[in-house]
Amino acid sequence: AEARFVANNPRSKSLHEQAAQALPGGNTRTVLYTSPFPLSMKQGKGAYVWDEDGHKYLDLVGELSAGLYGHSHPLIRETLLSTFDSAGVSLGASTAHEQAFAELLCARFRLARVRMTNSGTEANLHAFAGARHFTGRRKVVVFSGGYHGGVLSFPDGRPAANVVDQADFVVAPRYNDVASAVETISAVGDLAAVLVEPVQGAGGCIPATREFLMAVRDAARAKGALFILDEVMTSRLAPGGLGVEMGLEPDLVTLGKYLGGGLAFGAFGGRENVMALYDPRIEGGLAHSGTFNNNTLVMATGRAALERIYTPEVCEDFNRSADEFRRKLSSLSKGTRLCFTGCGSLIGFHFTDDVRDEVLCGEDINGKERKDLRDLFWFEMLEAGFWTVRRGYIALILETSEAELNAFVEAVRAFLNRHHDI
């Protein structure tokens, strides 16, 4: 399958070789590199993408969840163009666009106050800087498998080598495990915050139980530390995100991805007395700046999309039918080495040595991954016209129809029939 991939994609291959002259590894997002070379995409339209060699794929990558609105939504286009014409991009000043979007985010995600950033990474960096300042303490507990940004990832129980201030993080060993979480949190001195995703995204699309998240919250509070919920990925799964859905009442929430309408975006917000740190009228707070934090294109497009496309009703319907899609895939793969995880429109899939129906944390599958099968699946899905994230991830796009999703289910069925020993 890999040999056919190479033969079918000569232009991607040569573009990658050329790109590697200027970019280490030929790209500027490590996560997008795949061997022997990544596909170069030329165009996206609706729920489809076309690569440089002219193949058309149903886009199940969905820009790793930021691409919820698809590639050419007419309202996004219209808002971008009309805002550019009427306001310009960046005015070096506060604008009504910023105020209106902030109000909408506060109402939807039940935040007393919010601040915008340019990425989810930045939102998390500010959230724990805020937690440190607020508590006067230093340490942050995160979970093994947690991903909170390019410089904030904890893939296998340790901070990745590029994590800022590594010594300030304590990594709890098992996501979804109440006992070890409470034990870790209770044992840490100088604890400012606990930072957790309600679904571990990059860690394998593994949903947490409410019991786990409540126990983490309560353990953090018992230590006088803040409970920060990273909803950069999960804010699309329920109208107010999973924090509101599950009644978690976090102290701070971080947001990002699709909320910028497909453009670069992040935000952090929450409790009034914590966010008051960022009020320049009050002495002793924290500065939070960023040239593009309030650029009009993102403010106006993010708001229009949330108000007029991803209404609470649309959000609920979309995630309900996505759950149905995942259940179909799970029932197909029952008793095989392929297993699907996830929540609503975010879906993970895992090929493992053993046959399993669920994954509760990365430790359940670490060391048991069948990367050979995972890669075979990816190559064969490409041949069938489906573009997925090679490491085992699907983020659905609003515009994808039920018939298109059913076609993917059939392609998975055919794959499992072709390789019946899986």
352 conformational bin, left if phi > 0, alpha if psi -120 to 50, beta if neither: beta
Cα–Cα nearest to 255, from 395, 380, 102, 381: 102
Residue entry with tokens 């309202």: 75
- The residue among 343, 151, 370, 321 whose CA lies nearest residue 245 is 343
User: Using CB atoms, what's the residue nearest to ligand PMP?
Assistant: 120
148 binds ligand PMP (CB under 6 A): yes
Q: Of the two residues 121 and 184, which places its CB atom closer to ligand PMP in the complex?
A: 121
Q: How far apart are CA 235 and CA 199, in angstroms?
A: 10
C-alpha 180/C-alpha 378 separation (Å) is 35
Q: Are 182 and 115 in contact (CB under 8 A)?
A: no
3-state class (DSSP) for residue 75: helix
> Considering beta carbons, is residue 64 or 381 the nearer one to ligand PMP?
64
Q: How far is the CB of 171 from ligand PMP (least distance, A)?
A: 15
Does 259 bind ligand PMP (CB under 6 A)? Our answer is: no
Q: Does 256 bind ligand PMP (CB under 6 A)?
A: yes
Nearer to ligand PMP, 202 or 208 (CB): 202
Q: Which of residues 264-283 bind ligand PMP (CB under 6 A)?
A: 266
227 is a contact residue toward ligand PMP (CB under 6 A): no
| C-alpha span between 295 and 131 (Å, rounded) | 26
Q: Is 213 in the site for ligand PMP (CB under 6 A)?
A: no
Quick one: which of 177, 197, 251, 380 contacts ligand PMP (CB under 6 A)?
A: 197
Q: Is 143 or 386 the residue whose CB approaches ligand PMP more closely?
A: 143
Applying CB under 6 A, does 341 fall inside the site for ligand PMP? no
The CB-side HSE value for 301 (13 A sphere, CA atoms) comes to: 29
Binding range to ligand PMP, per CB under 6 A, among 212-220, 227-235, 307-315, 338-346: 227-235
Judged by beta carbon, residue 121 or residue 333, the one nearer ligand PMP is 121
Task: Give the H/E segment covering residue 99.
Answer: helix 96-109
Q: Which 24-83 positions form the footprint of ligand PMP (CB under 6 A)?
A: 64
User: Applying CB under 6 A, does 117 fall inside the site for ligand PMP?
Assistant: no
Whole-angstrom Cα distance, residue 333 to residue 151?
35
Establish if 147 lies at the interface with ligand PMP (CB under 6 A).
yes
The correct pick among 68, 185, 228, 232 for binding ligand PMP (CB under 6 A) is 232
Give the span between the Cα atoms of 40 and 403, in whole angstroms.
27
Q: Is position 201 an interface residue for ligand PMP (rule: CB under 6 A)? A: yes
Which positions ≥6 away from 13 have C-beta within 8 Å? 6, 36, 37
Residues 350-389 that bind ligand PMP (CB under 6 A): none
Q: For the chain, how are helix, strand and coil distributed in percent, rounded to 5?
A: 45, 20, 40
Radius of gyration for the alpha carbons in the chain, expressed in angstroms and rounded: 21
Q: Which is nearer to ligand PMP, 98 or 197 (CB)?
A: 197
Parallel/antiparallel/unpaired status of strands 169-172 and 139-143 = parallel
Stretch that binds ligand PMP, among 51-59, 117-125, 219-227, 290-298 (CB under 6 A): 117-125
Among 62, 70, 149, 239, binds ligand PMP (CB under 6 A): 149
- For ligand PMP, the binding residues (CB under 6 A) are 64, 119-121, 124, 147-150, 197, 201-202, 230, 232-233, 256, 266
